[in-house]
Structure 1
Amino acid sequence: MSDSDASGEKDQEKEPKAPSRPVTAAARRERRASARPAGKAGASRADSASTDEDRTRPAGKAKADKPAKAGGKEKATPKRNRQDKKKVSLWGRLSRFIREVWAELRKVIWPTRKQMVTYTTVVLVFVSFMVALVWGLNFVFEKGVFWLFG
């Protein structure tokens, strides 16, 4: 056995170095989970992982067999009681609608006159081009059909 063979075996016995930057999304999540302070959620789960499945699970995913947290959702959201609301008249609903439309229109950034002329010109040029294209294709197909079927 030569020196090069022996050194090759030693290199194979060493564990490969972990990449300095995680390649996959799961590896990035795992790295972030292990870097969290102890007070943050998920840090204790990453430290106390006992199986390979737990170690490969992303930090944000919880096991299905764990009990729900105290502040979690244990029951269905109750339905709203529609009977408590008073019925608003037609004019009241219409005036509210107009007020909301007016409020939304105040949020709009209106184009200047120059922008409006530019946008209108672009639209008219594009529509003219499409009309010419469709007319040209129609003409070519019409001639082709008459040539083929006489």
Structure 2
Amino acid sequence: MAHDASGGEIVAANGTTGEKKANVFARIVIFIRQVIAELRKVVTPTRKELVKFTAVVLGFVVVMMALVYGLDFAFSWVTSVVFGVPS
């Protein structure tokens, strides 16, 4: 049976390992080990990177808000021109 880097078994695409399936508790333990192994790979950004990423996200949100506002304004203007302004 093959094992990955976290010590868990590698399961085939159809969900079988070619041998008897482990019980529920063993699979839960394997899952938790794999989660911990993946969390150890996570790199925490520095404060400078975090500020830069936050600025990029906020800038993108502002640009998208402006785009949606512009489209809304344009469509409402076109609608009022085509159908007239109600009295």
Same fold flag (TM > 0.5): yes
The 1:90/1:144 distance shift into structure 2, 3 A limit, reads same
Equivalent-residue separation in structure 1 for 2:30 and 2:71 (angstroms) = 51
Q: CA deviation at 1:109?
A: 2.3
TM superposition outliers: structure 1 runs of 4+ over 2 Å:
none
Q: Deviations over 1:68-94 (max 9, x none)?
A: xxxxxxxxxxxx994xx2331111101
The letter for the 2-side match of 1:94 is I
Q: Is 1:124 aligned to residue 43 of structure 2? A: no
Residue 104 of structure 1: how far off its partner (Å) = 1.6
Percent sequence identity is 49
Closer/same/farther in 2, CA of residues 107 and 149 from structure 1, 3 Å limit: same
Output the CA distance in 2 between the equivalents of 1:104 and 1:117.
25
Pairwise CA distance, 1:129: 1.2
Could you tell me the TM-score, scaled by structure 2's length?
0.67
Aligned to 2:4: none
Q: Residues 65-76 of structure 1: matches in 2 within 5 Å?
A: none
* Unmatched tracts of structure 1, length 5 or more: 1-79
Partner of 1:101: 35
Calculate the aligned-residue CA RMSD, in Å: 2.0
Q: Name which structure has the greater RCO, CA cutoff 8 Å, separation 6+.
A: 2
